Amino acid sequence: MKIAICDDNKSVIDSVRNALMQCKDYISNIKIDEYYSGESLLEHYKKGGRYDLLFMDIHMREIDGINTAFKLKRLQKDLILIFLTGHSIYVKEAFTVQAFQYLTKPVKQEEIIKEFKRAVEHYKLNHTKYKIEDKKSTVYVEISNIIYMEVRNHNITIYTDKGEYIVKGRLKDEEIKLKKYDFVRCHQGYLVNMQWMQAINEDNIQLRNGYFVPVSRRMRKSVIDVFSNFIVGRCI
């Protein structure tokens, strides 16, 4: 797992690194890089570098952590981002950039370890492969890249951020398989990845890519309840 720590305070970086080193038995092959400015981290990304997890200070000189994070998210939407800051006024901004967590300085070692382990589980779930198979070919896509599924006439259309796939099957079977990966049935003919949900309206769900899928009157309350629990688990 490739991890970056970006903070202009070396003692903070050392504290985070020390906490992460205590978790080496939790996940193998941890690689940690350090950055003392948002500019240097962005320069690494411009050269093609990527990270799975980023610990980011919000209040830094030149370009701050929020603006850095917005630019990074455009380049890598699945980046797991944990903000570190002593200023709670930035919580709202951190939420808009879809941060995984928000830790207030001085951050305790046990808090870093706890959130790191939670981030690892999130990473493992998001990088699980989903097998799409028909008579001609077999394709494997990451579950996090599946936006929603729609069934019509015993054909399931799987919408991903890379394209669409059509397979034979029952949506109920896919619902059972994908429930633990944060998918929710919102309509008799639709199954949605909650990671892509942005808002639940009166008769539809708005997705982060600008699309809308219907939500039935019968299922709307249960969808709101499940989505609320999902959001609470990711709140900062």
Whole-number pLDDT of residue 116: 95
Q: From 1.20.210.10, 3.40.50.1110, 3.40.50.2300, 3.40.50.880, which CATH number describes the 2-126 domain? A: 3.40.50.2300
* DSSP string computed for 87-130: -GGGHHHHHHTT-SEEEESSPPHHHHHHHHHHHHHHHHHHT-EE
Q: Which residues share a beta bridge with 199? A: 206
Asked whether the domain spanning 129-232 has the same topology as the one spanning 2-126, the reply is no
- Cα–Cα distance measured from residue 4 to residue 21, given in angstroms and rounded to the nearest whole number: 13
CATH topology of domain 129-232: OB fold (Dihydrolipoamide Acetyltransferase, E2P) (2.40.50)
Question: For 122-132, what is the mean pLDDT?
Answer: 86
Average pLDDT taken over every residue of the chain = 89
Nearest Cα to 148, choosing from 139, 138, 140, 157?
157
> pLDDT digits over 26-62, tens only?
877 889 999 999 999 999 999 999 999 999 998 877 7
> pLDDT digits over 156-184, tens only?
999 999 899 999 999 999 999 999 899 99
Whole-number pLDDT of residue 220: 96
Whole-number pLDDT of residue 233: 60
For the chain, the domains span 2-126, 129-232
- Cα–Cα distance measured from residue 64 to residue 118, given in angstroms and rounded to the nearest whole number: 25
Whole-number pLDDT of residue 117: 92
> pLDDT digits over 183-204, tens only?
999 999 999 999 899 999 999 9
Measure the CA angle with vertex 231, ends 227 and 234; round to 5°.
145
Confidence grade of residue 236 (pLDDT, cut at 50, 70, 90) = very low
Whole-number pLDDT of residue 119: 92
> pLDDT digits over 65-108, tens only?
888 998 998 899 889 999 988 766 555 565 667 788 888 888 89
What distances in angstroms separate CA 114 from CA 42, 111, 221, 230, one per listed residue?
27, 5, 32, 18
**CB of 231 within 8 A of CB of 195?**
no
Nearest Cα to 82, choosing from 61, 46, 51?
51
Question: For 123-152, what is the mean pLDDT?
Answer: 89
